[in-house]
Amino acid sequence: MKIGFIGLGNMGAPMAANLVKAGHEVTGFDTAAITVEGAATAGSAAAAATGQDVVITMLPNGAILRSVAAEVIPAMQAGAVLLDCSTVDVESARAVAEDAMAAGLKALDAPVSGGIGGAQAGTLTFMVGGTEDAFAIARPLFDIMGQKAVHCGPSGNGQAAKICNNMILGVTMIATCEAFALADKLGLDRQAMFDVVSTSSGYSWTMNAYCPAPGVGPQSPADNGYTPGFAAELMLKDLRLSQQAAEAADADTPMGAAAAALYATFVEEEDGKGRDFSAMLPRFETRHRG
């Protein structure tokens, strides 16, 4: 396929590189002048989008996605697919898809989980919103860049799935970390805590696969000085998106709201910026109840 790829940052560059490796003809564009080996480089987003079968965007947020979409939609050929893999607010995802479809294009929102490691290894999970026919066209690309693509329904539903998942993840990480900190103060050994919880009803991905306690459980960012991994500020971004969506949809999400507030404090007022989101554990370790 002929593919335009806009946004070649930490995630976009390795995803584009995997498409090149698989034999697709990729033209990239990034405002930071990043290039990808084996891909052509365009001078603008519109130029990268012209004449392509699929245009992929991997951008920081919804406002930037909207401005890039306004530029590329008029440049794209009829029937082409605008495939946004960024994590953005549901509203922006739906607005961009509507504009694309009004211009005779197909549109998918397909945010990912799996992080930079998953982008490099081609093992991302895609959560996809949009029509069945657009999903079918993009499927071979999902198979290259990822190991799983779930079609979640119409436009915006990929973003909805992503923020619901990450709201659970943020809340669960906090619960896991505060429980470890409590266990410490009760004199309960961390390995014993892991051995019990990981095989009991408190088990979770954050405990079993991404344990925030160094030296306990499988290898995780905790074993590497809390170098991300999944950065606390990205967790904060996703939690804020979940609260924005909850407000718009009139959903009561008190735990999500508490998690968003706690990660905001951690990232903006404490030392969370640049650390993995599991660094909530050393945060709780140093704190007291009153």
Q: Which residue among 21, 106, 148, 162 is the active-site one?
A: 162
Catalytic residue list contains 162: yes
- Piece in contact with ligand NAD (CB under 6 A), picked from 26-34, 137-145, 149-157, 219-227: 26-34
Q: Site for ligand NAD (CB under 6 A): which residue of 19, 26, 59, 174?
A: 59
Peptide bond into 229 cis (omega under 30): yes
Strand partners, 40: 27
- What single string gives the DSSP state of each residue in 106-161? EEEE--EESHHHHHHHT-EEEEEEE-HHHHHHHHHHHHHHEEEEEEEESTTHHHHH
Tokens matching residue 147? 């190991």
Q: What letter does residue 223 receive in the DSSP assignment?
A: G
Tokens matching residue 123? 């093992």
Q: Site for ligand NAD (CB under 6 A): which residue of 21, 51, 60, 74?
A: 60
Q: Is 87 in the site for ligand NAD (CB under 6 A)?
A: yes
Cα separation, 14 vs 11, in Å, equals: 6
Could you give the dihedral angle defined by the CA atoms of residues 204, 112, 250 and 206, in that order, rounded to the nearest 10 degrees?
Answer: 10
Closer residue to ligand NAD (CB): 135 or 230: 230
Q: Is 36 in the site for ligand NAD (CB under 6 A)?
A: no
Q: Is 241 in the site for ligand NAD (CB under 6 A)?
A: no
What x/- string results for residues 177 through 196 when contact with ligand NAD is judged by CB under 6 A? Answer: --------------------
- Provide, rounded to whole angstroms, the least separation between the CB of residue 187 and ligand NAD: 36
Provide the annotated active-site residues: 162
Query: In the complex, which residues of this chain contact ligand NAD (CB under 6 A)?
Result: 6-12, 29-32, 34, 45, 58-60, 64, 68, 86-87, 112, 115-116, 230, 234, 237
